[in-house]
Amino acid sequence: MIRFLIPLICLVLFFMEPVFGLFSPLNIGGELNYIVPRFLIMFLIFLTLYYDLKHAMFYGLFFGLLYDVFYIDIIGLYSFLYPAICLVASFVFKRVPRNLLTSTLLTLALLAIFEFVLYQFFLLISLTGMPLGTFLSTRLWPTMVANSIFLVMLGWVFKSVMVTQLSERDNKIGLY
């Protein structure tokens, strides 16, 4: 049962994203603020840092594909970007001390890059004509604020779940 805890969390986060997406765009002072929930990718980055890269990339590919097919009808966008972000995370983290603060900051930085790459992509295929300034102020900024609240609240839970899973797995290997 506990073996499926990580995929289960992934699944729950995957379904939570559009539910929170229903609250957006948020109208604050006459200005529309787009908040994009990015729970899954943050969890996957944590998975890369505290569990292992291969699992994270596999889940990234799987849920990215679901995301592509169900929500945006452009197959290959998220299913490529999710594993790619995990790969980048593992590269960067080899050169950085490993603790909760650095991993939170790194996750947020990668999230900003992720958002920016998506923005560039949609600009390229002209699905959006949003100028850069508007993107930064009405999309990136609110999204980063909302997601960092989420991460600060639940980051340590993610970490503790993964650390216990990892130690359980190592114990099992020791048994054989």
What is the four-CA torsion angle of 5, 63, 151, 167, rounded to 10 degrees? Answer: 30
Instruction: Verify cis geometry, omega within 30 degrees of 0, for the bond prior to 25.
Output: yes
Contact residue for other proteins among 2, 69, 113, 152 (CB under 8 A)? 69
Asked if residue 152 binds other proteins (CB under 8 A), the reply is no
Asked if residue 75 binds other proteins (CB under 8 A), the reply is yes
* The two structure tokens encoding residue 58: 């596999």
Q: How far is the CB of 140 from other proteins (least distance, A)?
A: 12
Q: Total binding residues for other proteins by CB under 8 A?
A: 40
Of residues 108-137, those binding other proteins (CB under 8 A): 118, 122, 125, 127-130
Q: How far is the CB of 128 from other proteins (least distance, A)?
A: 6
Q: How far is the CB of 114 from other proteins (least distance, A)?
A: 10
Contact residue for other proteins among 6, 9, 10, 36 (CB under 8 A)? 36
Rounded to 5 degrees, what are φ and ψ at 22? -65, -25
Long-range pairs for 155-164: beta carbons < 8 A, 24 or more residues apart:
155/46, 155/100, 155/103, 155/104, 155/107, 156/100, 158/9, 158/43, 158/46, 158/50, 159/46, 159/50, 159/100, 159/103, 161/5, 161/6, 161/9, 162/6, 162/46, 162/47, 162/50, 162/51, 163/50
Asked if residue 37 binds other proteins (CB under 8 A), the reply is yes
Q: Which is nearer to other proteins, 36 or 159 (CB)?
A: 36
Asked if residue 102 binds other proteins (CB under 8 A), the reply is no
Q: For other proteins, which stretch binds (CB under 8 A), given 16-24, 96-104, 146-154, 165-173?
A: 16-24
SS3 129: coil
Q: Applying CB under 8 A, which residues contact other proteins?
A: 11, 15-25, 27, 32, 34, 36-37, 65-66, 68-77, 80, 83-84, 87, 118, 122, 125, 127-130
